[in-house]
Structure 1
Amino acid sequence: MFSKVFCLFLLVVVVAVEGYGHAFSSNHISRHDGHHEAVHGHDHGHHDYYTHPKYEFDYKVEDHHTGDIKSQHEHRDGDAVKGAYSLHQPDGSHRHVHYHADDHSGFHADVKYSTHHIVPHHH
C-alpha cells in the first residue's frame, strides 16, 4: 500500500513540475527484503509469514516558481523508524522536523521553525 501511495505522489509531483520548466524533483527508494520467517497460526494447517521490515527513501522538490520547496528522508529497520522533513511554508518560514519512533518509546518529533528576514533596499 505504501508503494502505491508513494508512486501516486511522485506522479502528481512530476505532472505539476513539468509545466513550469525550472523545477527540480528527485527521489530514491531502497527496500531490503529479508528472509521470510514462518509464524504458525492457531490452526495447524495455516502459516503466516513475517519479513523483517527494512527500507529507506528520500525525495526533494524545488519549484521556485510556485514556492513548492520540500524534502524528506526516512529509514526503517524493524520497529525503529527515523527521519526528517523540511518545507517552505506560505508565510516564508521554514519548518524542519526530525522524528523517530520505536516500540519502546513511541513517536517523538522535534519541530523547529526558521525565518529569513528580508531587508528592502531603497534607491
Structure 2
Amino acid sequence: MKVVIVLSLVMAAMAAPSIPTNIYSPASVYPSAFFFKAPPRYNYGYSINDDFSGNNFGHQETRDGYDTKGSYSVQLPDGRIQLVTYTVSGDSGYLAEVKYIGKARYPAYQPTYNSVTAFRPLPAFESAPGFGPLPIYN
C-alpha cells in the first residue's frame, strides 16, 4: 500500500506543469546598462539666510562620475561662519578643509540671580483662633 501512495505522489509531481521561463521582470524589458552603466552627473545648491531667526547656511555640490566637489556653510552660535570645502575623487575618500570666517563674539556675563538677597526666616506658625483640643473618643 505504501508503494502505491509513493508512486502516485511521484506521478502527480511529474504531471504538474513546470514554471514558465518567460516570467516578466524589469531586467528583461530594460537592459542593465540602462540602470547601472551611466555615470552620475549633477549640480545642485541651496542657501538660507533668515535675518529674523538668525539662520544662515547653505550647500553646493557638483558630481561628474566618481569625482565630487562641494562646500557647505553654517552660522555658529558665536557669530562665526563655518565653511567646509570637500572633494571625493574615486576611492580616495572624503577630503575636507574647514575654515572659520569672522571672529567669535560672546555676550558680556550677566548673572541671572540677585546677589543682594537678604535672608529672612519664615514666619512662625500660628494656629487659627477658635479651635480647641481635639476630642478623645473611647
Task: Name the structure 2 match of 1:73.
Answer: 60
Matched residues in 1 for 2:101 and 2:79: separation?
A: 9
Q: Given the superposition, is the C-alpha separation of residues 115 and 87 from structure 1 closer, same or farther in structure 2, using an over 3 Å criterion? A: same
- More strand by percentage: 1
Give the count of matched residue pairs.
75
Alignment of 1:9-88 (within 5 A): 47-48=31-32, 49-50=35-36, 51-88=38-75
Task: Name the structure 1 match of 2:101.
Answer: 114
Identity, % of aligned pairs? Answer: 32
Of 109-118 and 66-75, the range deviating more from structure 2: 109-118
Partner amino acid, structure 2, of 1:111: V
Q: Which aligned runs of 4 or more in structure 1 are off by greater than 3 angstroms?
A: none
Unaligned runs of 5+ in 2: 1-26, 106-138
Please provide the CA RMSD for this pair: 2.2
Where relative contact order (Cα < 8 A, 6+ residues apart) is larger, the structure is 1
Q: Given the superposition, is the C-alpha separation of residues 117 and 110 from structure 1 closer, same or farther in structure 2, using an over 3 Å criterion? A: closer
Partner amino acid, structure 2, of 1:68: N
What's the TM-score, normalizing by structure 1? 0.54
Structure 2 counterpart SS, 1:90 = coil
Shift of 1:90: 1.3
Unaligned runs of 5+ in 1: 1-44, 119-123
Compare CA radii of gyration and give the structure with the larger one: 2
Structure 1 counterpart SS, 2:79 = coil
Q: Given the superposition, is the C-alpha separation of residues 53 and 117 from structure 1 closer, same or farther in structure 2, using an over 3 Å criterion? A: closer
What's the TM-score, normalizing by structure 2? 0.48
Structure 1 counterpart SS, 2:96 = strand
Task: Name the structure 1 match of 2:87.
Answer: 100
1:23-57 C-alpha deviation (Å, 9 max, x unpaired): xxxxxxxxxxxxxxxxxxxxxx8652322100000
